[in-house]
């Protein structure tokens, strides 16, 4: 990407999109095209085509998505698959049609099979059944990355895809029923501390293992891939480090300052038993994560306290 390139970040107000905007500005890319959902509905093909015809961006980052945790995915499966399929289809197809130089599509580690060998390499995609609690979102994301591969293969469109692990950071969704594990826990432990509650309940038995990456590390990795990667296969983006949900709850309780009891609700689902990405492919391109986990959690908690939902 050239410093004066026109760059469109789809979903710039979300967790990932806002981090991409911060990273682009840090690295001197200021010619950005940013539209809110009210200004541009990415599920509307005509609106998307009109927008691209008017703006003619050189590079596109597809960070827009309908996201949520286990409860949200289970409650709104039709919305998760329909919305995310529409976003991927409209933005990727229209980017190719309008002559975009390069596009990066962001997937998710939930695209991999529930019992994939650990750590998960990129080639284990579609080798087994998905985790049922997020299959609707996962199928839509798989379709998006396969669209990138198909448009590259048939039309020579320079579309690449990155598969991030579980993310956290500023601008996350802290909604009590629609959030992912870290923002959800940060909110519950914070509210419990304010209420002097005796305990906080955590879904599952605490045994699942998860990998987490600060969203600003992901954004740096995406800009790096835009500069150096040209392959059809997606690229995993993670920290290479995992911890159990029990360990995560204990760290968050300490960061928040909650001193009560942590109770694990075994009537609720665990989700995938383990989800660690193999990031050797990304490391081979010369990139490494740089943000320390506990400090990243503390910064995220501080942002939540200052900004709320």
Residues acting as catalytic residues: 137
What span, in angstroms and rounded, lies between the C-alpha atoms of 77 and 51? 29
Contact 196, 190 (CB under 8 A): no
Residues forming a β-bridge with 70: none
The CB-based long-range contact list for 145-152 (8 Å cut-off, 24+ gap) reads 145/105, 145/107, 145/111, 145/234, 147/88, 147/89, 147/92, 147/93, 147/105, 148/92, 148/103, 148/105, 148/232, 149/232, 149/233, 151/92, 151/93, 151/96, 152/232
Contact 233, 163 (CB under 8 A): no
Question: Which two structure tokens, joined as six digits, stand for 265?
Answer: 């609700």
Q: Which of 140, 12, 130 is nearest to 81 (CA)?
A: 140
Strands 209-214 and 242-244: antiparallel
What span, in angstroms and rounded, lies between the C-alpha atoms of 224 and 218? 10
C-alpha distances (whole Å) from 272 to each of 76, 96, 169, 181 are 19, 35, 22, 13
Contact 241, 294 (CB under 8 A): no
C-alpha distances (whole Å) from 2 to each of 16, 29, 212 are 22, 8, 31
> Collapsing DSSP states into helix, strand and coil, what is residue 265?
strand
Query: In angstroms, how far is CA 265 from the centroid of its own chain?
Result: 26
């Amino acid at each position: 990407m050239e410093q004066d390139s026109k760059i469109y970040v789809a979903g710039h107000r979300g967790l990932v999109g806002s981090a991409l905007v911060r990273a682009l500005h840090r690295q001197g890319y200021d010619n950005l095209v940013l539209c809110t959902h009210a200004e541009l509905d990415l599920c509307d093909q005509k609106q998307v085509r009109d927008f691209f015809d008017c703006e003619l961006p050189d590079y596109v980052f597809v960070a827009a998505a309908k996201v949520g945790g286990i409860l949200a995915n289970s409650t709104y499966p039709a919305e998760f698959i329909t919305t995310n399929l529409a976003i991927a289809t409209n933005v990727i197809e229209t980017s190719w049609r309008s002559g975009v130089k390069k596009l990066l599509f962001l997937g998710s580690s939930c695209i991999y099979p529930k019992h994939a060998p650990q750590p998960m390499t990129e080639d284990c995609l579609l080798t087994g059944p998905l985790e049922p609690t997020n299959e609707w979102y996962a199928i839509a994301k798989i379709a998006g990355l396969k669209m990138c591969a198909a448009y590259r293969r048939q039309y020579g469109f320079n579309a690449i895809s990155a598969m991030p692990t579980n993310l956290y950071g500023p601008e996350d969704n802290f909604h009590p029923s629609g959030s992912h594990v870290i923002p959800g826990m940060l909110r519950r432990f914070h509210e419990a501390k304010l209420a002097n509650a005796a305990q906080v309940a955590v879904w599952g038995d605490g045994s699942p293992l998860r990998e987490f990456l600060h969203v600003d590390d992901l954004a740096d990795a995406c800009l790096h891939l835009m500069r150096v990667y040209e392959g059809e296969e997606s690229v995993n983006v993670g920290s290479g480090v995992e911890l159990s949900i029990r360990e995560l709850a204990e760290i968050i309780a300490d960061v928040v300052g909650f001193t009560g009891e942590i109770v694990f609700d075994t009537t609720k689902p665990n989700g995938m038993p383990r989800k660690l990405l193999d990031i050797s492919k990304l490391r081979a391109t010369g990139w490494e994560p740089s943000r320390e986990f506990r400090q990243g959690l503390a910064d995220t908690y501080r942002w939540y306290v200052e900004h709320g939902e």
